[in-house]
Structure 1
Amino acid sequence: MSEYLRSIEGTPAGHDLALVLALVAAVLHALFGALQKGRHDPWLSRAAIDASYGLIAVPFALFLVPWPEPHMWVIFAGAIVIHSLYKVLQAMTYSRGAFTVVYPVVRGTGPFFTVIGAGIVFGETFAPGQWAGLMLLVCGILGLAAWNLAHVTVDRATMVPALGLAVLTGAMVATYTTYDAYGIRATADPFTFLAWFFMLDGIFIPLLTHRRWRQLPAVEIVPLLKRGVLGAFVAYFSFGAIMLATRLDKVGEAAVLRETSTVFAALIGWLVLGEKVGPARAGLMALIAVGAVIMEWAG
């Protein structure tokens, strides 16, 4: 598999596979966000997920993939710091704001900053039509957040700080997307980066939240651990898909397509959380999809 992926990097076949991977990541990322914003403490939900994917990754990292080259250890250290900060901000955001409001803000600010970062780091350029598609997508996402803000009734007292934290979290999404794209391109085998990243990244949040586990009712432990294992596999395929997409093709395009996750998040809110999707939200969701299509077509 690794050899095949290396053989199609930068080719039309690589571009097509990157498109599919980015859309898969979008669907799974929406599910991943919903798992963190369920009935459990977002901090503990994240800790259960991280601990699960960290432990599952151990045999793969140690025995099944090539060990990282010496220069990768510095890259891994930077990735862990960036992701740790991102996850702290994300948990703070989800614990203060309604999922349907803060999630679109996080995802709406991310692609714009990522496209800029990809231009600086990787020298990527985008046609005027692609910028227009990006603006449509971002406007649709932020418009969805504004609509939700006007109509949601939960977490109103903490919504303003939640929105500020959501913007900061979006900036961290752009940071880790660009940095991780650099990291996965810096090693010969992309699965080396993924396996070692998951193993190392699964340490920080469980350690940070160990005191919260003592306050958790015993009856909640098993359901939370089940959510952690489910979230671990969602994370593998979501993060793995988008990282492989950024190695195969443009980082900016993959990041923009991933942010159609806001459409899938709205659908999850409607189908799973019982939230209503009226004409206004449906129109904004369509605008997001149109922006993504234009971004891809204009390229």
Structure 2
Amino acid sequence: MGDWIISLEGTEAGGHLALGLALLAALLHAFFGALQKGRHDPWLSRGAIDFAYGIMAAPVALFVEPWPDPALIPLFALIWAIHVVYKLCQGFTYTLGSYTVVYPVVRGTGPLFAVIGAGLLFGEHFNWVQWSGVALLVGAIYGLALYNLKHWQIGRDRLKPALVMAVVTGLFVAAYTTIDAYGIRATADPFTFLAWFFMIDGLTFPVVAVVRYARMDDKPDLGPLALRGFVGGVTAYFSFGAIMLATRLDDVGEAAVLRETSTVFAALIGWLVLGEKVGPRRVIMMALIALGAVIVEAGG
């Protein structure tokens, strides 16, 4: 399958597949975020998810896919470090703020800096039509955040620090999007990169979760947490895997922007699943987010 993906690089069919993968990543990433922010402690949820996809990836990385070039070890170490810091920031963000409030800020910060990073690292450049789409998308996402800042009543004492942490998390979203794209392009077989990425990335947060669980006075049942971890692990493969493949097949900046339509899906999940209210103003801003992504894709 790796050979088939490689054969599509730079082709029209590859561009269409990258579009589909980016939109799939958007939908699944919103679901993935809701899993981490759901009824379990976000640190425990993240640990369970990472343990699940790390265990599932290990036999594939060690015995099925070709091993990566040893020269790429420093790159994998850098990718691991960026993802660890990103997940720490995300955990603090979800602990401080409601999902519907903080998620749009994280996703709004990410694409802007990912586009800039793709220009610096890969020489990609947007035209003025695409930049107008980016401006519309990011502006609508931050408009949604400002509206929440003004009207959200749950946990207002922690809202401002939650939004600050959301911006910091978004910066690391841009960092990992760019460096992951570099990594999957530098590895001969894209599925080698994915298998080793998930195995290595699954090492740290299970330890964090075990330590946190041991210190809890009111410990949650492990059965539902394990189930959440398994579902999240499978979701992660298709979400993060899809966006990484999209960045190998087509422009990193376009894939990063299209993925941020996840904000729309996240609002729907927050409303339908988590019971968070979504008023008409939020609906309008979500429509503008989707329109901005369409302009970026059409302008390219």
TM-score, length basis structure 2: 0.97
Residue 210 of structure 1: how far off its partner (Å): 2.2
Alpha-carbon distance between aligned partners in 2 of 1:52 and 1:195, rounded to the nearest angstrom: 13
Cα deviation, 1:23-72, whole Å, max 9, x if unaligned, reads 00000000011011111111111111011110111111111111111122
Match of 1:94 in 2: 94
Match of 2:238 in 1: 237
Match of 1:30 in 2: 30
Instruction: Give the secondary-structure state (helix, strand or coil) at the position aligned to 2:96.
Output: coil
How is 1:67-216 mapped onto 2 (pairs within 5 angstroms)?
Answer: 67-214=67-214, 215=216
Structure 2 counterpart of 1:205, which letter?
F
Structure 2 counterpart of 1:281, which letter?
R
Alpha-carbon distance between aligned partners in 1 of 2:297 and 2:220, rounded to the nearest angstrom: 47
More displaced 10-residue stretch of structure 1: 187-196 or 271-280: 271-280
Alpha-carbon distance between aligned partners in 1 of 2:200 and 2:220, rounded to the nearest angstrom: 29
Alpha-carbon distance between aligned partners in 2 of 1:127 and 1:280, rounded to the nearest angstrom: 30
* Poorly superposed stretches of 4+, deviation over 3 Å: 216-219
Alpha-carbon distance between aligned partners in 1 of 2:46 and 2:191, rounded to the nearest angstrom: 23
Residue 216 of structure 1: how far off its partner (Å): 6.5
Alpha-carbon distance between aligned partners in 2 of 1:221 and 1:150, rounded to the nearest angstrom: 38
More displaced 10-residue stretch of structure 1: 145-154 or 266-275: 145-154
Contact 2:65/2:191 (8 A) holds in 1 = yes
| Structure 2 unaligned residues grouped into runs of 5+ | none
| Structure 1 unaligned residues grouped into runs of 5+ | none
TM-score, length basis structure 1: 0.98
Structure 2 counterpart of 1:242, which letter?
I
Count of residue pairs brought into register by the alignment? 299
Instruction: Give the secondary-structure state (helix, strand or coil) at the position aligned to 1:146.
Output: helix
Cα deviation, 1:170-203, whole Å, max 9, x if unaligned, reads 0000000000000000011000000011011111
Alpha-carbon distance between aligned partners in 2 of 1:136 and 1:76, rounded to the nearest angstrom: 34
Alpha-carbon distance between aligned partners in 2 of 1:231 and 1:83, rounded to the nearest angstrom: 16
After superposition, the CA RMSD in angstroms is 1.1
Instruction: Give the secondary-structure state (helix, strand or coil) at the position aligned to 2:221.
Output: helix
Contact 1:98/1:152 (8 A) holds in 2 = no
Residue 152 of structure 1: how far off its partner (Å): 2.3
Percent identity, aligned pairs only, is 64
